[in-house]
């Protein structure tokens, strides 16, 4: 069962969730991921108990999907991520945050998705991360954000102060992973607002990028020429707890020529066992410089290459 929380609206006449934002957050435990209805909605209390029961370690990882992602695709990818991580020893829970992406893949829907991502970003923190941090014993909350999910994550974190979390200490997530992140490269340099937010709200941030990501090449145009961190990486001045992972050689090594489509250049990670091995080690907190899935480069970056 793939547990998730959602800010999609619900159409009671068609008995399905829509592409429109809801004013409420729904907590879901679907019995049939191909046909999710309001019958799958449960209370936050019951949902938290189910998440805790699925976590056979202290880790809970939230997958934040990107642009042009239908609810059914989000569920399938969350399940795929869970299976991939488990092959490499991850024992925690994997859940999804379902924001109202259009799922059409047009220029108009890109702008709409970006608006809806910003509009619903606070729910990732207020209705997901912060309640999960109240679980006893305290769990490690991780995030894997793909594509526009990176933008949503940054916007979500920026709306909360230190006093928002449970207890007296500053609240933090554990590991944050951006995968083909559709966020401005300039936001992520040391001292820039995005880097400061992630440094304050996580123990470590890891950015997986590929210079062959054709979807993000289009996103550069749609964002006024601003380079995307998931295609160009973080600029050389990088925060000490941030790690930049150059990945396009792994893509060329593992993805067959006939499969190197624009869409697959943006999503290949989720069908790649080398990525899951590296991600599992990252979530486990292994030292970034000593992972067997990486090699050092003559820059501040590390390369995903095994």
Q: Residue 97's closest CA among 10, 171, 8?
A: 8
- The angle at the Cα of 145, spanning 84 to 256, to the nearest 5 degrees, equals 50
In this prediction, the residues of the chain whose per-residue pLDDT falls under 70 are: 103, 105, 107
Q: In this predicted structure, what is the pLDDT of residue 100?
A: 96
CATH assignment, 41-304 = 3.40.50
- Give yes or no for a contact between 27 and 44, defined as CB atoms under 8 angstroms apart: yes
Q: Where are the alpha helices (DSSP H) in 87-172?
A: 107-123, 130-132, 148-158
138 by DSSP, 3-state: which? coil
What pLDDT score was predicted for residue 184? 98
Contact 203, 172 (CB under 8 A): yes
Instruction: Tell me the whole-structure pTM to 2 decimals.
Output: 0.97
d(CA 71, CA 36): 9
Contact 295, 206 (CB under 8 A): no
Q: How many CB atoms lie within 10 A of CB 166?
A: 14
For residue 148, give every residue at least 6 positions away whose Cβ sits within 8 Å of its Cβ, in sequence order, or none.
66, 67, 101, 113, 114, 117, 182
Give the pLDDT score at 265.
97
Terminal-to-terminal C-alpha distance of the chain: 32
| Residue 231: per-residue pLDDT | 98
CA distances for 30 relative to 47, 62, 81, 87, angstroms = 11, 17, 17, 24
Please count the other Cβ atoms lying within 10 Å of the Cβ belonging to residue 237.
Answer: 11
Q: Which residue has the tokens 């697959």?
A: 264
Contact predicate 62/47, CB 8 Å: no
Model pLDDT, residue 125: 98
């Amino acid at each position: 069962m793939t547990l998730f929380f959602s800010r999609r609206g619900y159409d009671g006449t068609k008995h399905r969730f829509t592409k429109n934002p809801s004013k409420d957050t729904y907590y879901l435990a679907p019995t049939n991921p191909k046909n999710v209805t309001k019958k799958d909605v449960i209370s936050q209390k019951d949902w938290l108990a189910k998440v805790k029961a699925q976590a056979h370690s202290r880790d809970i990882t939230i997958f934040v999907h990107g642009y042009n992602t239908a609810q059914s695709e989000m569920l399938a990818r969350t399940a795929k991520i869970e299976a991939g991580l488990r092959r490499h020893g991850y024992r925690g829970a994997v859940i999804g945050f379902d924001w109202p992406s259009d799922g059409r893949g047009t220029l108009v829907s890109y702008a709409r998705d970006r608006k809806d991502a910003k509009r619903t970003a606070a729910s990732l923190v207020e209705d997901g991360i912060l309640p999960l941090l109240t679980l006893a014993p305290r769990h490690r909350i991780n995030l894997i954000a793909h594509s526009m999910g990176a933008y949503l994550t940054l916007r979500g974190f920026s709306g909360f102060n230190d006093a928002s979390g449970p207890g007296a200490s500053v609240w933090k997530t554990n590991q944050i992973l951006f995968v083909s992140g559709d966020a401005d490269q300039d936001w992520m340099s040391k001292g820039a607002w995005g880097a400061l937010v992630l440094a304050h709200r996580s123990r470590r941030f890891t950015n997986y990028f590929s210079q062959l990501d054709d979807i993000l090449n289009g996103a550069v145009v749609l964002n006024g020429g601003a380079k995307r961190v998931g295609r160009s990486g973080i600029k050389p001045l990088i925060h000490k707890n941030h790690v930049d992972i150059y990945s396009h050689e792994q893509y060329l090594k593992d993805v067959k020529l006939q499969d190197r489509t624009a869409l697959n250049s943006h999503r290949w990670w989720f069908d790649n066992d080398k990525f899951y091995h590296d991600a599992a080690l990252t979530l486990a907190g292994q030292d970034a410089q000593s992972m067997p899935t990486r090699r050092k480069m003559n820059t501040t970056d590390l390369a995903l290459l095994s």
